[in-house]
Amino acid sequence: MDKVVRSAAEAVADVRPGSLLAVGGFGLCGIPSVLIQALLEQGADDLEVVSNNCGVDDWGLGLLLRAGRIRRMVSSYVGENKEFARQYLSGELEVEPTPQGTLAERLRAGGSGIPAFYTITGAGTQVAEGGLPWRYGADGEVVVSSPPKETHVFDVDGVPTTFVMERAIVADVGLVRAWKGDRHGNLVFRDAARNFNPLCAMAGRVTVAEVEEPGRAR
């Protein structure tokens, strides 16, 4: 089976408005910039995007954000993007802040068929107890807050320890960047550009990859 398509436009043609996307990259390292640009031109909007961050104002996911195409972000880092801050604080954008390791594991779990898992990260904080502001109103009041999460006490080396249950993420589409790829869809990721890309590839029901070097992925 040959999974190679002729253009980035063809690759993202089936992304629908309202889709949940898992997008690889860390900062601007390893982001699928060609696919993001193609999606910008394709026109899908009302998107929910899971990604470590949202690019910068003039590159990466920041382009979709500036065009008003992203409704909701699930991220662990939200700095370096003034438009992101403006939309969030003005109530135009909903944001679910998630600890970075937790975000990685939620994506991995989704790709592995694991519906949820327990982690100590966030125990005793608003991550577990709820109340993090996800969306503001135009008047600056919080209109959507994070709900409380299920917790469980486990015995850890004889010490009762509280863990937080986190739910897996399964995306409609994963958008990733790889170093090499072959016609069967096998991918090789290189150095720091690996980052979230394998996890986003796992988490997508359908995954689209842009590659630097087509050919044999060994």
Determine if the pTM surpasses 0.85.
yes
Distance (Å, rounded) from C-alpha 76 to C-alpha 92?
Answer: 19
Indicate if the pLDDT at residue 214 is higher than 80.
Answer: no
Quote the CA–CA distance of 68 and 107 in Å, as a whole number.
Answer: 25
Question: What domains can be seen in the chain, in order of their start residue?
Answer: 8-115+169-214 (3.40.1080.10), 116-167 (no CATH)
| Cα–Cα dist 172/19, whole Å | 6
Per-residue model confidence (pLDDT) at position 213: 85
**Average of per-residue pLDDT across 155-163:** 97
What's the confidence (pLDDT) of residue 18?
98
CA distances from 167 to 98, 106, 108 (A): 12, 6, 11
pLDDT of residue 217: 52
Residue 24 pLDDT exceeds 80 = yes
Instruction: List alpha helices for the chain, DSSP H.
Output: 8-11, 33-42, 61-66, 82-90, 100-112, 126-129, 197-203
The answer to whether residue 1 scores a pLDDT higher than 90 is no
